[in-house]
Copies of this chain bind each other. A is one copy, B any other.
Amino acid sequence: MTRIAFLGLGDIGAPMAGHLAAAFELTVWNRTPARATAFVSAHRAQAAPTAAEAVRGAAVVASCLSTSSDVEAVVGAAASGLAADTIWVDFTSGDPATSQRIAARLAELGVPFLDAPVSGGTAGAQQGTLTIMLGGDPIVIERVRPVLNAVGKKIVHCGPIGAGDAVKAVNNALLAVNLWSAGEGLAALKKAGVSSAVALDVINASSGRSNATMTLIPERVASRAFPRTFRLALLDKDVGIAAQVARDQKVPSPLLQLTAELMRLAHVTLGEVADHAEAVKVIETWAGVEIS
C-alpha cells in the first residue's frame, strides 16, 4: 500500500490528512508535536518526530503550511530523508517564486514538486471537496491523482510550477477587491440614506454582484456575525502574492497593488486573529457608519 507523509496539521491540513489516513498508509509530522499526537489518536496513522523521518520511504510527501518559506525550511530539514522519485505535493497557499526555487532544489534530489494550493476552507477540507489548483508537470499530477481525489473534488491543472499558487492568489485578491470596494460603496450609500439590505438587494440582482455582495457581506458583515473562518492575515498574504505575481510579470496593476496596501493596513489595524470579512470594519470606522 502506498505510504504518504503529511507535514503540517493545521486547520486545513489536519482534515485533509484525515481523508488520506482512510485510504493510505500515513505518517504525519507537525512542528508542534501535540497536534500530531492528537491526530494519530483519532486516525489510523503514525507520527514521526522529525520531517526527515516522516518522509523516509514515502511515495508521496504532502505539505500544508503557512507560507512557502515554511515549506522551504521543511524541505531543507526533510532533505536527508527524501529518495528519488518521491513526489512532493505542496497544498500550502504559496508564492510562485519560492515554489520554483523549492522545485529546483528538489529536482536535484530527483523529487518532482507540485504546487497545489486549495480553496474551499475548513468545510471543504473536512468534506473532501476542496478545489485544488495545480502547477507542475501533468505526468506527475497523474501519478498522484489518487491522493488528490481523496481530498479534492475540482482538480485543475493551471500551468507550470507556481501556476497553482498564482491562480489561488489572484482568486483571493479578487475576493479582497470585491469585498473592500463593496464596503466603500455600501458605506457611502448608508450615509446617503440607503440601507445596506436595500442596496444589496439591488446590486445582487444587477451587474455589480460578486461573491462578496451575495455571500460574504450579507452573512458576515450586515449580520454583524463576523465568524472567524479565514484570517485577514492570510488574505493579506495572498493579496501580496498576487500583487507580486503582477509585478514580476510586469503587468501594470493599480487596483491589485492598492488592494494589497489596503489589506496590509487592515491587517495591522485589526490584528492577527481578525477574520478577512472584518476588513470592512476599517471602512466603517473611517466613515463613521455601520454597513447593515
Q: Which of A191-211 contact B (CB under 8 A)?
A: 191-195, 198-199, 201-203, 205-211
Residue of B nearest to A264 (CB): B252
Residue of B nearest to A179 (CB): B207
**B-chain residues with CB within 8 Å of residue A162 when the two chains form the complex:** 192
**B-chain residues with CB within 8 Å of residue A167 when the two chains form the complex:** 189, 194, 198-199, 202-203
Distance in Å from the Cβ of A181 to the closest Cβ of chain B? 4
Q: Which of A145-166 contact B (CB under 8 A)?
A: 154, 156-160, 162-163, 166
Say yes or no: A202 contacts B252, CB within 8 Å.
no
| Total count of chain A residues near the partner, CB < 8 A | 83
Say yes or no: A255 contacts B181, CB within 8 Å.
yes
User: Can you list, as one digit per residue, whether each of A251-292 has a CB less than 8 Å from chain B (1) or not (0)?
Assistant: 111111111111011001100000000000001001111000
Say yes or no: A208 contacts B245, CB within 8 Å.
no
CA of A154 to CA of B133, assembled, Å? 39
CA of A247 to CA of B242, assembled, Å? 13
Say yes or no: B208 contacts A170, CB within 8 Å.
yes
Residue of B nearest to A265 (CB): B252
CA of A262 to CA of B252, assembled, Å? 7
CA of A174 to CA of B210, assembled, Å? 9
The verdict on A240 contacting chain B, using a C-beta distance below 8 Å, is yes
The verdict on A14 contacting chain B, using a C-beta distance below 8 Å, is no
The verdict on A113 contacting chain B, using a C-beta distance below 8 Å, is no
Say yes or no: B175 contacts A207, CB within 8 Å.
yes
The verdict on A21 contacting chain B, using a C-beta distance below 8 Å, is no
CA of A193 to CA of B240, assembled, Å? 19
Distance in Å from the Cβ of A173 to the closest Cβ of chain B? 6
Residue of B nearest to A186 (CB): B170
The verdict on A55 contacting chain B, using a C-beta distance below 8 Å, is no
Known: A192-B96, A201-B156, A211-B207. A184 touches B268 (CB 8 A): no
The verdict on A98 contacting chain B, using a C-beta distance below 8 Å, is no
Distance in Å from the Cβ of A270 to the closest Cβ of chain B? 12
Known: A158-B202, A159-B194, A177-B178. A252 touches B240 (CB 8 A): no
From the candidates B203, B211, B254, B261, name the one contacting A208 in the complex (CB within 8 A).
B211
CA of A261 to CA of B260, assembled, Å? 13
Say yes or no: B253 contacts A189, CB within 8 Å.
no
Say yes or no: A251 contacts B283, CB within 8 Å.
yes
Known: A174-B185, A206-B171, A209-B210. A258 touches B256 (CB 8 A): no
